[in-house]
Amino acid sequence: MYGKGLRPLSIATCLTLTAAFALVFFYAPLDADQGFIQKIFYVHVPMAIVALGGFVAGAIMAVQHLRTGDRRWDLRSYVAIHLSLVLGVGVLVTGAIWAKAAWGHWWVWDEPTLVSFLIVFLLYATYQPLRFSIEDPERQARYASVFAVTAGAFVPLNFLAVRLAEQLTHPRVLGATGGSMPGEFRFTFLVALAGMVLLFVTLWKYEMASKHATAQLRSLRRKLGGEEALIPAGRSAAPSAGLPARPTAD
Amino acid sequence: MSTWGALVRKELLLEIRARESVPAMALFSVTTYVVFHFGLDRSSLDGDLASGVLWVTLLFAAMLGVNRLFVADREQGGFDGFLLAPVDRSALLLAKAASLFAYLVAVELVAIPAFAFLLLGPSPAQLLPELVGILLLANAGIAVIGTLASALAIQTTARDLIAPLVALPLLIPVVIAGARATTPLMLESGAEAVPAKWAAVLGLYDLVFALLAYAVFDFLLED
């Protein structure tokens, strides 16, 4: 059911990302100040926005899980947070490269957006260990959702506190004033952002489809060969795809 | 209200009789000052360095209390007893946060004079009364987040690891606001006014997480 529409979505993602890179290299003008290195901006910033959006989406899905008790929401929340963590590594790496080129240091502490992102990343890095250390799958899902909701609310508050603490070196991209970007930069940036959003959604659907297929395969195996035919699933931080690992009487 | 009162009374009575958390936290803070003295190789501190050392010490001492907060309930059946009683679940959150708040105040009654005696360069008289207000605001935030993190971690197989790992990043805004707010109080040249925005950040933080903890805490008890 998650496989539906995956092919057109993948094609759209490939096209948008290709268009974004073409625009970055052939259309967007060179930055007067930083030159070529500024182009990393079109990867770094959309990735950061999508990663933070993914964390918040994970929190909203976790709220749905807590409200409805439907374990599929927990799986959706898990996949969103897990993908955002992967993107988060990319954000920190590209951010460090850009900081080295633009400001001369790999890491700049008086730079609120980078520091806030690191704090949020460190917080979410405990999501998987937390899940892994709870054995009961039902409790694991519930506790992980509580964590996801708390952490999701923490994201904006943390950005506020860190921003107040430091002076601004980091450029504001889409400020309330509409940003200071000229038209070509802005258009390229928006295409790159759309490409990154599509990439996130595609990867999310792929992982959901894969988890769903694995769970269906297990249940079919069990129907055919009984409990003995199943290789026992190891303890995992990942939730099972909404189907119980073994039939439960409840 | 009476449920809440009974639970707080139970917590404080347990702490007075068993003395599991507060003495350890207070001793830990004094030891940490000694560690800082040698680690920084300074005999007296002032300004932002003094403020930073104080807040880091208080935060780490609070982690000891956070780790112990639900241990007795889990190991000696306190959770079962509470869940069997026909009372509002949120009372437990409120009682635990209030007890942690009380522990933190008790620890600070030892840790702040010890800090003034051992490390602080300027006269401790210039800290009052602003420091008290900032500490109370920060304690409320630490108590709420600490209770939530402790309740999250208590049912895991690695609770001593999970609680600080979850709580420390969540408490970074408290450290930022607390350290920035108290820096002007610890200047060698005499105290300056505390910027109001840091008190506002602490207040906002307390409010947001108190409401959030109230909303999600029930889900950590449903068994």
Task: Report CA dihedral (A202, A203, A207, A212) to the nearest 10 degrees.
Answer: 0
Burial of A174 (0-12, 13-18, 19+ CB in 10 A): middle
Please state whether the peptide bond connecting residue A247 to the residue before it is cis, i.e. omega within 30 degrees of 0: no
pTM of the shown model:
0.85
Q: Which amino acid is at A63?
A: V
Q: What would the pLDDT profile of A61-90 be if each residue is shown by its tens digit?
A: 999 999 988 888 999 999 999 999 999 999
- ∠ CA B74-B79-B80 to the nearest 5 degrees? 115
For B157: left if phi > 0, alpha if psi spans -120 to 50, otherwise beta; the answer is alpha
Domain that holds residue B118: 2-221
- Token reading at A162: 């860190």
B53, pLDDT greater than 90? yes
Q: What would the pLDDT profile of A166-219 be if each residue is shown by its tens digit?
A: 655 555 555 444 455 677 778 888 888 999 999 999 999 999 998 888 888 888
Q: Does A235 touch chain B (CB under 8 A)?
A: no
| Cα–Cα distance, B165 to B130 (Å, whole number) | 30
pLDDT recorded at residue A248: 42
Banded model confidence at residue B184, pLDDT cuts 50, 70, 90: confident
**Contact call for B209 and A153, based on CB within 8 A:** yes
pLDDT recorded at residue A57: 93
How many angstroms away from the CA of B50 is the closest CA of chain A? Answer: 18
How many CA atoms does the CB half-sphere of A181 hold within 13 Å? 23
How many angstroms away from the CA of A194 is the closest CA of chain B? Answer: 30
Q: Does A70 touch chain B (CB under 8 A)?
A: no
Q: Which residues pair with B120 in a beta bridge?
A: B45
- Token reading at A219: 């249940």
Which among B155, B165, B170 has CB closest to A154? B170
How many domains does chain B fold into? Answer: 1
Q: What would the pLDDT profile of B124-155 be if each residue is shown by its tens digit?
A: 888 788 889 999 999 999 999 999 999 998 88
Banded model confidence at residue A226, pLDDT cuts 50, 70, 90: confident
Banded model confidence at residue A114, pLDDT cuts 50, 70, 90: confident
Query: What is the H or E stretch that residue A166 is in?
Result: none
How many angstroms away from the CA of B222 is the closest CA of chain A? Answer: 9
Which among A143, A154, A161 has CB closest to B177? A161
- Token reading at B203: 């207040």
| Cα–Cα distance, A140 to A74 (Å, whole number) | 10
Banded model confidence at residue A233, pLDDT cuts 50, 70, 90: low
Q: Does A158 touch chain B (CB under 8 A)?
A: yes
State residue B33 phi and psi, 5-degree precision: -60, -40
Helix axes A6-22, A183-225, angle to 10 degrees: 150
Residues of A in contact with B203 (CB under 8 A): none
